[in-house]
Homo-oligomer: A and B are copies of this chain.
């Protein structure tokens, strides 16, 4: 790891505002939602679903944006690249990044669709079901990638979710080349099972050629490599990337790197809303990783950050994660 970096982590992903309501499983069924997954929706469907949803709260979201906010909450130096429109939700997103201490690089755009949002339904079992209208965020393209920012960060983290348009895929290849050429690390989170199934052919070469640190849950890892069971996927991950973190929900995670294998327990907590669990796991891990901590400790920080975020509504930490480090 080069140590002259002025940033610890820079994230690239969908810049979204979360719109969160509590609904029953009957609501999930009645509206044909895919429970616990992220489904992309267009304008009409977004309006229809929003109209059906109950009283909501709005908070800034976006998977890797949450990760960047989490790293900043631990005290890491972070930046974020993503697209918002020049509207009220875009201003909310930009405000919250800045307020969290994340340098939000891209100014709002003035053409195209409005700022994206994720309509998130939380059921009584604390699972979140996401229906995302990407809006402006989907139009992230290579021109939006700030080479100097990428080069200045120890790790650039990419999210699978931002892989739906060719320009965004190009942006990932562009950004990861800037990072690799500068001797930096590239991380990728696979985001969602259906996302992996949509983009397996695009993810595989990116993982093989550019990704140093991979985050995935069991189902995503198995889907990426066509494995029937997680053990096989872990071994594929070990062979393909320098570090892989396979998250196992309440069973914690397994971190593999070369010959090393570390089983990391989850941090026990009363689960209120699982939104952001994976994002904050990545935040804790990368904070530790860029601080030069041993891999088992990085995993523990991932568990700690994930536990905080699932203990309340919303996908960003409510307390300073740095304050948890003292304990």
Residue numbers of A with Cβ under 8 A of B are: 21, 50-51, 53-60, 69, 87-89, 92, 95-96, 98-100, 114-115, 314, 316
Residues of the B chain whose Cβ atoms lie less than 8 Å from the Cβ of A59: 57-58
Residues of the B chain whose Cβ atoms lie less than 8 Å from the Cβ of A98: 51
Most buried by B among A56, A69, A98, A115: A56
Residues of the B chain whose Cβ atoms lie less than 8 Å from the Cβ of A54: 99-100
Closest chain B residue, CB of each to CB of A96:
B55
B58→A99 contact, CB < 8 A: no
B58→A57 contact, CB < 8 A: yes
A-B contact pairs, 29 of them (CB 8 A): A21-B99, A50-B95, A51-B95, A53-B95, A53-B99, A54-B99, A54-B100, A55-B69, A55-B96, A55-B99, A55-B100, A55-B316, A56-B92, A56-B95, A56-B96, A56-B99, A57-B57, A57-B58, A57-B59, A57-B314, A58-B58, A58-B59, A58-B92, A87-B87, A87-B88, A88-B88, A88-B89, A88-B114, A88-B115
Residues of the B chain whose Cβ atoms lie less than 8 Å from the Cβ of A60: 55
Most buried by B among A50, A99, A100: A99
Most buried by B among A58, A69, A87, A96: A58
How many Å from the CB of A45 to the closest CB on chain B? 15
Residues of the B chain whose Cβ atoms lie less than 8 Å from the Cβ of A50: 95
How many Å from the CB of A120 to the closest CB on chain B? 13
How many Å from the CB of A103 to the closest CB on chain B? 15
Determine the distance from Cα of A21 to Cα of B92 in the docked complex, in whole angstroms: 12
Residues of the B chain whose Cβ atoms lie less than 8 Å from the Cβ of A57: 57-59, 314
> Assuming A58-B59, A88-B88, what are 8 further A-B pairs, CB within 8 angstroms?
A51-B95, A53-B95, A55-B60, A55-B99, A57-B57, A57-B314, A58-B58, A88-B115
